[in-house]
């Protein structure tokens, strides 16, 4: 946090997933802005992550904060699209979706690494028990998962069939807001066709070596450092 004359005027936090660092919640009180406080807070996190051996740092920016991150060397890499609907989509039968079981955990972690390019098993651990997976046959590998206990309810999938089924399953549970990478056109087309409207877009910026991730495999982004 940042203090001025003994009073807190700003704060920032981050999440380190081994070699990936996510920066977020960089907030400065209105009366303390335009004094470089946000820059100092962000620079502190950047230096901390570098000292931890982090090779890629990631954040999702607002127009207000983008000049600060650009000054520190962050580059725009992609965008997210935020969508909302005024009505829930009715649930439908989903024969290939079932609850996560203990035997699924390693396959689920590997699938997450494949799509996100991150080693974030420790972060996901607390949310796995309440999750759902997509598997067409007991002998087939897991093709996707949905974690409703993680805020935002991320949906990660290896292919469009699994991703769309899991996304519809999520919406059938009453979800009316979704964030997806703008590069995932099938997800955007489905949501727009289902009555969702675009509320806004946000830029994703990185510092360092870009992650080898697959935005087309993210059918719903979780909130708080969870693509």
Task: Name beta bridge partners: 56.
Answer: 20, 208
pLDDT, residue 64, reads 77
Architecture of domain 2-73: 3-Layer(aba) Sandwich (3.40)
Reading phi first (left if > 0) and then psi (alpha if -120 to 50, else beta), residue 25 is in left
Q: Where in the chain is the domain with CATH 3.40.630.90?
A: 83-198+215-220
Instruction: Spell out the alpha helix ranges (H) of 26-65.
Output: 37-51
The CATH class that applies to domain 83-198+215-220 reads: alpha beta
pLDDT, tens digit, for every residue of 34-88? 888 989 999 999 999 999 999 999 999 988 788 889 999 999 999 999 999 998 8
Spans in the chain with pLDDT lower than 50? none
Q: How many C-beta atoms lie closer than 10 Å to residue 158's C-beta? A: 18
Q: Where in the chain is the domain with CATH 3.40.630.30?
A: 2-73
pLDDT, residue 33, reads 85
pLDDT, tens digit, for every residue of 124-133? 999 999 999 9
Q: If you ran DSSP here, which 8-state letter would residue 171 be given?
A: H
Report residue 204: phi and psi, to 5°.
-105, 125
pLDDT, residue 224, reads 64
Task: Answer whether 81's CB lies under 8 Å from 201's CB.
Answer: yes
pLDDT, residue 227, reads 66
């Amino acid at each position: 946090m940042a203090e001025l004359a003994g009073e807190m005027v700003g704060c920032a936090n981050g999440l380190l997933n081994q070699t990936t660092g996510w920066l977020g919640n960089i907030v400065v009180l209105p009366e303390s802005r335009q004094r470089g406080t946000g820059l100092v807070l962000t620079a502190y996190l950047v230096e901390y992550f570098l000292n931890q051996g982090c090779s890629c740092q990631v954040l999702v920016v607002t127009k207000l904060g983008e000049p600060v991150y650009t000054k520190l060397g962050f580059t725009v890499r992609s965008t997210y699209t935020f969508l909302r609907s005024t009505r829930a989509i009715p649930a439908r039968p989903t024969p290939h979706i079932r609850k996560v079981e203990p035997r699924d955990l390693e396959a689920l972690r590997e699938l997450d690494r494949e799509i996100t390019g991150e080693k974030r098993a420790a972060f996901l651990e607390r949310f796995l028990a309440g999750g759902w997976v997509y598997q067409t046959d007991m002998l087939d590998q897991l093709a996707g998962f949905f974690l409703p206990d993680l805020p935002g309810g991320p949906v990660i999938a290896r292919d469009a069939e699994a991703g769309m089924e899991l996304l519809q399953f999520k919406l059938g549970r009453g979800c009316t807001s979704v964030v997806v990478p703008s590069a995932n056109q099938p997800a955007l087309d489905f949501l727009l066709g289902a009555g969702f409207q675009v509320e806004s877009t946000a830029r994703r910026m990185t510092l360092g070596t870009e992650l080898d991730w697959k935005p087309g495999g993210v059918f719903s982004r979780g909130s708080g450092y969870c693509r």
